[in-house]
Amino acid sequence: MIERADLKTIWLLGRPVEHSLSPLIQNRAIGHLKERAIYLAASVEPDDFEQVVRALPALGALGANVTVPHKIRAFEVCETTSERAQRIGAVNTLLFSDGSIRGDNTDGAGWWWSLPKEVHSLRRAVVIGAGGAARAVVATLIDNGFDEIVVLNRTVERAERLLTDLEAGFGTASLSSGTLASFPEHLETHTLVVQTTSVGLDGRGCPVDLPTQWPEGCYLSELIYGRSTPLFSRVRELGGEASDGLEMLCGQAALSLALWLGREPAEIPLELMRQAVQER
């Protein structure tokens, strides 16, 4: 029961949102930090999205997270956007201050921040998929000094378009695209493999074929969470290091919370957020 009248609100706007773990994660962290705030989720129709966003600053809300299907619309509604949101072309975090609406995107940086430190020294990546999540991942890899990035997708033209968009903006990394079938030939030692497609979400299907041996020093970051995908299980069986999408979920949540509360990312209890999901 909420009995206090001095709580600031933070919102999740998406459709559907009923199964989202964000309220669990965010309210656990907000409670730990003893902030007078509450994180609430609202299922919003695309036609109502802009009106809802414009009403929130008037209600005194601190900000909002935006998820499927509103991330691109959110980018358009914002008065100002961060450089990283501009690169990705989508917004997952809205900040309301002085009546203005600012947009940021913490998906890529949050994912990177929550990966184990040994992954941060890798310089070569193979990204599977070319949708919105892949765009955030590739922009983040370029930002973090990766020398070589290969994007593999079912529709190769979409991978090419993603690379052209990002290449035009910045960076000196060598970027190339290919088919999903070419995965084994791109899997060299010391490669970060990032799985961004929806394949495996239902526990079945693997977007790529794996070799019989997992090469030395390779790491799989599977962005699907909540279940072990066939790709994730197979890499672990081969003795490979891997993490699932819990890292991105918690990493982006922690960075967004730091922005709303005006705190340093290091102050946000990331481990507690992970634990909250694992308990569930």
Q: How far is the CB of 69 from ligand ATR (least distance, A)?
A: 10
Which of 26, 81, 177, 196 is close enough to bind ligand ATR by CB under 6 A?
196
- Listed in sequence order, the residues at least 6 apart from 229 whose beta carbon sits closer than 8 Å to its beta carbon are 195, 199, 200, 201, 203, 206, 222, 244
Q: Is 158 in the site for ligand ATR (CB under 6 A)?
A: yes
Instruction: Name residue, tokens 């961004």.
Output: 196
Residues 225-244 that bind ligand ATR (CB under 6 A): none
Which of 81, 82, 153, 252 is close enough to bind ligand ATR by CB under 6 A?
153
Cα 198 to its chain centre, rounded Å, is 14
Which of 14, 57, 63, 207 is close enough to bind ligand ATR by CB under 6 A?
207
Handedness of CA 73, 194, 247, 279 (dihedral sign): positive
Cα 165 to its chain centre, rounded Å, is 19
Contact 259, 95 (CB under 8 A): yes
Buried b (16+ CB within 10 A) or exposed e, 146-166: bebbbbbbeebebbbebbeeb
Q: How far is the CB of 201 from ligand ATR (least distance, A)?
A: 9
Q: Is 171 in the site for ligand ATR (CB under 6 A)?
A: no
Please tell me whether the peptide bond between 46 and the residue prior to it is cis, using omega within 30 degrees of 0: no
Which of 198, 202, 211, 227 is close enough to bind ligand ATR by CB under 6 A?
198
For this structure, is 8 an active site residue? Answer: no
Strand partners, 9: 38
Q: Is 199 in the site for ligand ATR (CB under 6 A)?
A: yes
Which of 8, 73, 84, 154 is close enough to bind ligand ATR by CB under 6 A?
154
At residue 8, φ and ψ (nearest 5 deg) are: -85, 145
Number of residues that bind ligand ATR (CB under 6 A): 15
84 or 158, CB closer to ligand ATR? Answer: 158
28 or 71, CB closer to ligand ATR? Answer: 71
Residues 14-43 that bind ligand ATR (CB under 6 A): none
Determine the residue with CB nearest ligand ATR. Answer: 131
Strand partners, 14: 43
Q: Residue 241 is encoded by which pair of tokens? A: 């290091």
Q: Is 155 in the site for ligand ATR (CB under 6 A)?
A: yes
147 or 209, CB closer to ligand ATR? Answer: 209
Q: Residue 98 is encoded by which pair of tokens? A: 């002085």
Residues 128-147 that bind ligand ATR (CB under 6 A): 129-134
User: Which residues participate in catalysis according to the annotation?
Assistant: 71
- Which residues of the chain form contacts with ligand ATR (CB under 6 A)? 129-134, 153-155, 158, 196-199, 207
